[in-house]
Structure 1
């Protein structure tokens, strides 16, 4: 006779015929307190954080989608910080592995817009007033990720002046080397002619494309390259740049579906402002150099 335990067929003697003949151990069903899983991930706390302000059914999707994105922002910050530290230690292959892992995580971030993809203007309008001036534009984790990608603007941290801990965190991120700064420094230590001003310039300024950096990457990518690990690093960064652009495109599409061309909740011009951000690429030299690779 065959019964089923945890989705796998198990005979009455406890042997799983699909598992090599060994004994099948069913999950425990009794614990003196709550199951350890709940404590490990803080499940009760996590599920207590959803507080829609209206009776509109779709508001719950909006709240949870926003919270999911913030969790993924935190994960990407962790991964990119790890990758930057590895680049500083010239552990290029391991840094590339971490970045490739973060690309998969960024895919999940992009697809999280699916939670809001069907939100109609009437549905969003039913709870929009309850948001007040709240906007995803105000996410400090999102700002940190932008800084790590090289999108740096000192004035962008001003709205957080009333929250000293967050302001200090953002100010530190603004002055810290970006992920791309760490990459260019690693290329320089490998003997590649990265322009000096790109190694010692103002860390609080937004990254600007540079013909000298473009030529360095063209050398890395050239046929018969002597730097295959650096080419792999460049491809991982390009994948990451592409995912970030996709996320912004999905943000724009969701805004157009829910708001049309009305102003955003945080005071921006809404879709018009988002359209401008979509055109800005992270690590721009990795895109422009492809024209000159031979």
Structure 2
């Protein structure tokens, strides 16, 4: 559709104004009613768009992190394409393009724009299924372009009216997509162990695993003061609730019992601590069992990228949260510090799901 229907535009404008935090109880009740009314919306209709736009206001039990991030829209987009790697890269680029437009309009932070441009340029160098680079970012048909437009429009809703929250929210979106891409590719490597393709796939995965580090390079343009200016508005929307992140770690390392005390607090994460996912068959286990020294060396390179990411995540917590408790009820930076170094995990044979996870 060339333009959003008036009913959708109104809901977009309502959420975009001063941020979702400023919505009244009457507004929220109206949006919840629209969501309930459009529950059985056929694909490709105005009602489906209304349903996507209003899911964060549904009356069912949804963790705050998922209400805040609207990850259901990313799942909707990815479900509409058979090539998950291409679709994930396109979704990342679309989110970053939207953020770039927001930053250009504000005209405040040239360094942030430089870092965004570098990240988008890097996306175009990433390997794809049939070649060394990803031309998929520049060859999008009309149907996919429309789906990307919907994805961007239905996910860009900060809670506050603070400009800097845009970079935080879009960074979360791109990281969530990266977690999924890493998990998806890890499954492909596990399936290929014992074949010549395993080395190529693992090298590709190593490059994907560097994406969260590059996203954090952009995110570091936030000052602690600007971060704290909107943190309260995000409420209990803690990244510790991210199902994609924990599934990624299961796929890479297997079950880590140290995380159980936090994961069991959340009903949607509790299955990760129980059979069958507790016995996840990890990439680390598959590489170790292969006895292939080439794969073992490639795994170490991958592990270094991920170690850097966890260290930077901890560093972010130290810089931006200091001694403040994490929004998910954790110890904040101290919680992150405990997981910078991964411990050996018991192995199992359960495959880790590879669909994009949302609540």
TM-score (norm 1): 0.62
Tell whether 2:283 aligns with 1:179. yes
1:54-102 deviations in Å (ceiling 9; x for gaps): 1111101110000100001111111001111112xx21x3112111101
- Counterpart CA distance in 2 for 1:282 and 1:50 is 39
Tell whether 2:248 aligns with 1:145. yes
* Preserved CA contact (<8 Å) 1:157 1:170: no
Question: What is the deviation of 1:168?
Answer: 7.5
- Counterpart CA distance in 1 for 2:276 and 2:263 is 11
Give RMSD over aligned pairs.
Answer: 2.6
TM-score (norm 2): 0.51
Question: What is the deviation of 1:255?
Answer: 1.9
Q: What residue is the counterpart of 1:48 in the other structure?
A: 154
Q: Of the candidates 142, 145, 167, which is equivalent to residue 35 of structure 1?
A: 142
Question: What is the deviation of 1:275?
Answer: 2.1
Q: What residue is the counterpart of 1:28 in the other structure?
A: none
Tell whether 2:337 aligns with 1:234. no
Structure 1: 4+ residue segments shifted above 4 A: 168-172
Q: What residue is the counterpart of 1:72 in the other structure?
A: 178
Question: What is the deviation of 1:140?
Answer: 0.8
1:96-126 deviations in Å (ceiling 9; x for gaps): 2111101111112211102210222221111
| Unmatched segments (≥5 aa) in structure 1 | 1-33, 188-229, 284-294
| Unmatched segments (≥5 aa) in structure 2 | 1-140, 346-359
Q: What residue is the counterpart of 2:307 in the other structure?
A: 245
Tell whether 2:279 aligns with 1:279. no
* Preserved CA contact (<8 Å) 2:212 2:309: yes
Question: What is the deviation of 1:281?
Answer: 6.0
Question: What is the deviation of 1:183?
Answer: 2.1
* Preserved CA contact (<8 Å) 1:124 1:258: yes
- Counterpart CA distance in 2 for 1:249 and 1:106 is 14
1:230-280 deviations in Å (ceiling 9; x for gaps): 222111100111011100111122222222232221112122222222233
1:146-168 deviations in Å (ceiling 9; x for gaps): 1122251353542442x49x948
Q: Work out which of the two has the higher radius of gyration on C-alpha atoms and give 1 or 2.
A: 1
| Number of positions where the alignment pairs a residue of Structure 1 with one of Structure 2 | 202
Q: What residue is the counterpart of 1:135 in the other structure?
A: 238
